[in-house]
Structure 1
């Protein structure tokens, strides 16, 4: 299998260098995912733009993490599930809900469960949903904006999940914490 390089600002193609430096300044380190994506300036820019736009959606930090984790578990992305477990804890997602998400089980919070189910339906059915599925999501208190905002979140995670599968992105040092570990193999 092809070996992918995890780039630094010194080894990345010139068009990726400034963005990698910016990522390092914003995060305090350059995630291996970004280092891998830097081989394609377009892929790195796309992921950064999508992730930034996901932060601008009308979802709370907890709701965003529910959506990110739902997509990442669906795609079986161990790197992203570990990373978003860490971020979900920072967003103060209750541990019981986090464990349920990681295990693919329903959530106790009815609104978050409606979000989880809708995200699963979107990715599973590739957006070809029946009116009743959209109505059930809206009935849980979400709006048209939320339906479309989820497309941004799903796009961001699809880029990162697929990249991590292709690259076999090495996990970050903090991901060595057994509490973050997750396996797609059941």
Structure 2
């Protein structure tokens, strides 16, 4: 059960109603996380703007979803793992790709370096070693991509923490942190 109120889209008015309309147009529904964010229309709008801006960045969708899975696993966020496992499958990641991303690895060298950097940023709260940055650059990541990776870690940490504080009720097929094998049936 949620510890924070979920705003009902049928009861939303003003700015919240407008934002919910945009969410529904993009996703086909208003996920429970957005309903939690809507307690503050400013917070919902900030999240939507941040997310939208990063979708127009240089990182491909498969990598963005992989980062979301890696960060969700690190932060133990079942809601985000559930949502992004579903999204990752729709984006073309295989079952094996999803499992690897949750472990912060990839068979693709550049994706692997990006996930290793994201993991370091998340675990070390930005205080990464010079070697972490050098490894990312050696794999071909440029400064724009590195900045976007950091931003995706921040965006996903925001949603992870919000879900964990709120105990957001799942509205996606359940994926549990730390239980990597059950993911196979949900992709």
Normalised-by-shorter TM-score class? 0.7 to 0.9
Partner of 2:88: 88
Say whether residues 1:98 and 2:91 are aligned partners. no
Partner of 2:111: 112
Q: For each residue in 1:142-186, what CA deviation from the matched residue of structure 2 results, as whole angstroms up to 9, or x when unmatched?
A: 1000111123212221221111111111111xx23xxxx322256
Work out the number of aligned pairs and report it: 179
Partner of 2:182: none
8 Å Cα contact 2:9-2:30 kept in structure 1: no
Counterpart-to-counterpart distance in 2, 1:126 and 1:47: 20
Partner of 1:20: 20
Instruction: Pick closer, same or farther for the CA change 1:43–1:94 going to 2, 3 Å.
Output: same
Partner of 1:3: 3
Counterpart-to-counterpart distance in 1, 2:166 and 2:79: 11
8 Å Cα contact 1:8-1:20 kept in structure 2: no
Shift of 1:71: 1.1
Structure of greater relative contact order (alpha carbons < 8 Å, 6+ residues apart): 2
Q: Which runs of 5+ in 1 are unaligned?
A: none
TM-score by length of 1: 0.87
Q: Which moved more, 1:1-10 or 1:49-58?
A: 1-10
Partner of 1:155: 154
